[in-house]
Amino acid sequence: GASGPAAGEKSGERFSSLGFIMSAIGSAIGLGNLWKFPYITGIYGGAAFVLLFIICLIIVGMPVLLAEMAIGRAGRGNASTSFLNLSGSKRWSFFGFLGVFGSFMITSFYSVIAGWTLHYALSSFTGALYKGTDYAVQFQTFTSGYSPIAWQFLILGLSGWVIARGVSGGIEKFNKVLIPALAVVLLILMARALTLPGAGAGIEFFLKPDFSKLTGESALVALGQAFFSMSVGMGVMITYGSYVKKEQSLGKATVAVTGGNLLYALIAGLIVFPTTFSFGLEPAQGPGLVFVVLPAAFSSMPLGAAFGGLFFILLAIAAFTSILSLLEVPVAFAMDRWKWSRLKATSWTTAVCFIVGVPSALSVGGVLSNFKIGGKTVFDSLDFVTSNILLPIGGLVVTLFIAYASKRAMEEAGLKGTLLRVWVFLLRIVIPPLIVLIFLYSVGIIS
């Protein structure tokens, strides 16, 4: 019931203030910013799309992020029991459980791409990547073999190792080092990209809006990306929120995470587009953009192997800190629900996630690429179900919970006056219909 001992209190694990901010930024910044954001910006119209994305971040991403943090800290449990602790109702906690399931499933295929980035980093540093010339063929050869499984295993194993060390001794310790390191690498790469001959065309594509390129579809894609990029809808920020000290301002944390997330996405764009344009490559490439287009650019740039290696290391670190947050959701659940030790919960979650993830790794060109579920590969199906179905449902549940079901969680956010009124107005009136819209659109009911 609502008054039972708050799950999660027992372990008493807590973030330091800076540790929480860094870990939440680490969760938000990931392949979504550095890999997906540039390529969808390339497809959906450049600067005008960037502007839409920023609007979605502010009116949807920020309020929902704050809502998740507040539910976590008020409920002091995992993504499922926090709802139970606050409402006493199993129905809410069932919806919370969808996040536990969803973040587990996201990890299983997200780690595939994270593994690719490690392979690309290594083969860029060694120069092996630049021996061949057709990067599309190389990408195809690599992804159709079995080695992606080994890289996926490595990245999941490393994540499990960090998570097993706990919240302050593992998750926050690594984020506090990796996130600033990421900033340094990003700035070096941005300086390189912006000084390439002909970089101006890329900057213009990325920052000078041409509104005639916008469609209804781009608006919905921008909204979906705002969710994914802020790590909301999967219980990640509820789980992290449950480790936040009472004194810390959730409002300030929300602003810091949103700002950091946006900044890193913009810098990623300022690396990818100037580089793409400078070498006369095509920005509307789709998912291959960073794996197929950029190596061509690195190969013909002085010190290209080093810059390329740095770029892929950057992707790997960003993906890694997101995986930490995603895996922590089921780990926290197993610890609360079955009273498992952190080590046991982490070992099982990581191992099962790897096994579940192998078919995804083999479905992007490998032996399972012809195995289709409803016309989609295993990888694409998981991506579709999690990003387009579970994520909007999760976001809607969080929104409605604060807006209509839990005064306690609403107060936990610590907002007052006009800010509070605006936040509640967005959660009650603006955000639910927008989420329903992306949902209907992405499952193909409206088009």
Residues at the site binding ligand PFF, with contacts judged by CB under 6 A: 27-28, 30-33, 103, 106, 228-229, 231, 234, 236, 322, 325-326
* Residue (278 or 350) nearer to ligand PFF, CB: 350
Considering the complex, what minimum distance in angstroms separates the CB of residue 273 from ligand PFF?
A: 18
Which are the contacts of 284, defined by CB distance < 8 A and separation ≥ 6? Answer: 42, 43
Which are the contacts of 53, defined by CB distance < 8 A and separation ≥ 6? Answer: 37, 41, 222, 225, 226, 265
Considering the complex, what minimum distance in angstroms separates the CB of residue 106 from ligand PFF?
A: 6
DSSP strands (E only) in 167-228: none
* Residue (138 or 386) nearer to ligand PFF, CB: 386
Considering the complex, what minimum distance in angstroms separates the CB of residue 235 from ligand PFF?
A: 7
Considering the complex, what minimum distance in angstroms separates the CB of residue 79 from ligand PFF?
A: 10
237-247 burial code (b ≥16 CB/10 A, e <16): bbbbbbbbeee
Which are the contacts of 1, defined by CB distance < 8 A and separation ≥ 6? Answer: 88
User: What's the DSSP call for residue 61?
Assistant: I
* Residue (296 or 390) nearer to ligand PFF, CB: 390
Closest CA to 207 of 223, 188, 194, 220: 194
Considering the complex, what minimum distance in angstroms separates the CB of residue 170 from ligand PFF?
A: 17
Closest residue to ligand PFF using C-beta atoms = 32
Considering the complex, what minimum distance in angstroms separates the CB of residue 220 from ligand PFF?
A: 17
For residue 140, the Cα-to-chain-centroid distance in whole angstroms is: 25
Considering the complex, what minimum distance in angstroms separates the CB of residue 381 from ligand PFF?
A: 17
* Residue (164 or 236) nearer to ligand PFF, CB: 236
Closest CA to 411 of 123, 71, 28: 71
* Residue (53 or 273) nearer to ligand PFF, CB: 53
Structure tokens at 381: 């199906």
**Helix 250-278 crosses helix 37-44 at what angle (to 10 degrees)?**
60
* Residue (159 or 322) nearer to ligand PFF, CB: 322
**Helix 172-194 crosses helix 304-338 at what angle (to 10 degrees)?**
150
* Residue (32 or 75) nearer to ligand PFF, CB: 32
